[in-house]
Amino acid sequence: MIFNATNVIALNIFLYICGKISLIMRVNSKIRYGLRTMLEIASSNDPNGMLQKDIAKNQNISLKYLDPIIASLKLKGLIINSKGKGSGYRLTRPAEEISMLDIYTAFEQIVVIECINNLNFCDRSLHDCKGRNYWGEFKEDFESILLKKKLSQIIEETYYECKDLESLQITS
């Protein structure tokens, strides 16, 4: 068996199911709320964009917490004010062209282990570290997963889940 990052993830999931290890992957709240913000903006049909107060209300995010999220998304070039300061926000490009990698990296770099991003971190990074190649591959696999998932796909998948829930509520 070839041990690539995907196989190791599958093995970890199997061990977790069997109760041999606990499996936790932490995604910080700014990334999670950043995705929710992007979904809210992308789902808006208003040509003037979506006001920050409406995003906060619809997503149950405080305006104070939403400010740096909006700032990070703007800095990354994912959203802009539709008509300047004080106006609504809109995407800078179609949702089909925005990946989960774009959203994730608006808030933090992908760092699996420090020596992958910083060769000076460890004097073994360049030649002696036998694990470095694996961790580099793991990082590439993770980035690839994020790159494949587009904002438009998430909207579509969420749309069906919400519609399914609505139909269950109507029949109950």
| CATH number of 82's domain | 1.10.10.10
pLDDT digits (tens, 9 = 90+) for 26-39: 778 999 999 999 99
16 assigned to some structural domain: no
* Pair of tokens at residue 30: 């700014």
Helix (H/G/I), strand (E/B), else coil: 150: strand
Residue 84 counted as domain residue:
yes
The pLDDT of residue 6 is above 70: no
Residue 7 lies in a domain: no
Domain count, the chain: 1
- CA–CA dist 40, 79 (Å, integer): 12
pLDDT greater than 50 at residue 172? no
Give yes or no for residue 5 having a pLDDT over 70. no
Bridge-based pairing of strands 79-81 and 89-91 is antiparallel
Domain of residue 110 covers 28-171
